[in-house]
Amino acid sequence: MKRMHIHLSVENIAKSVAFYTKLFGAEPTVVKDDYAKWMLDDPRVNFAMSSHEGAKRGIEHVGIQAKDSDELAEVYGRIADAGGAIFNEGSTTCCYARSEKNWTADPDGLAWEAFLTHGDVADYGNRVDLDQLASNNATAGACCTPTIPEGVSPESSPEKAKDEACCG
């Protein structure tokens, strides 16, 4: 079963963890100096937050977390059917996890991530530019959304788009 993903950018992780722990009635499953995550079953959501200097506060991006490769392929198909620009980031490390992911944006510019997590890692990982597939609350250098370089269409030149994006 797929899980909704919401990622916030916050000013103070400790204060936010205290607030959301009480709101959700559950401790986070991951807590770092710059990151926290709850894997809730009611409601079924991967709720994460990070704190990085210069980041705008609020919803950074939303997404759908797949439980396996078949679900990820299904979500990728839905993203393609939705008709927005697609950036296939592929295998990457972000938010203390190894994942396979791609990105799109809704008509108002809200960044959407589709991903399958393969396991935890010790480092935060890639923090890439949100400028082109970003909500107004995202900031350059924030986790995890890639930039599609100006003048490069990911559909017509996926390798160039991947090569030019800061996440490599």
Tens of pLDDT along the chain (168 residues)?
899 999 999 999 999 999 999 989 999 999 999 999 999 998 899 999 999 888 888 998 899 999 999 999 999 998 888 887 888 888 988 888 899 998 888 877 888 889 999 999 898 887 655 555 544 544 444 445 444 445 544 444 444 444 433 333
- CA quadruple 143, 150, 148, 61: dihedral sign: positive
pLDDT of residue 70: 96
pLDDT of residue 64: 93
List alpha helices for 9-68, DSSP H.
Answer: 13-24
CA distances from 59 to 48, 55, 78, 139 (A): 10, 11, 22, 11
Report the alpha-carbon distance of residue 22 to residue 148 in Å, rounded: 38
pLDDT of residue 151: 52
pLDDT of residue 94: 84
C-alpha dihedral (83, 84, 87, 92), degrees to nearest 10: -90
Contact call for residues 84 and 106 (beta carbons, < 8 A): yes
DSSP one-letter code for 54:
T
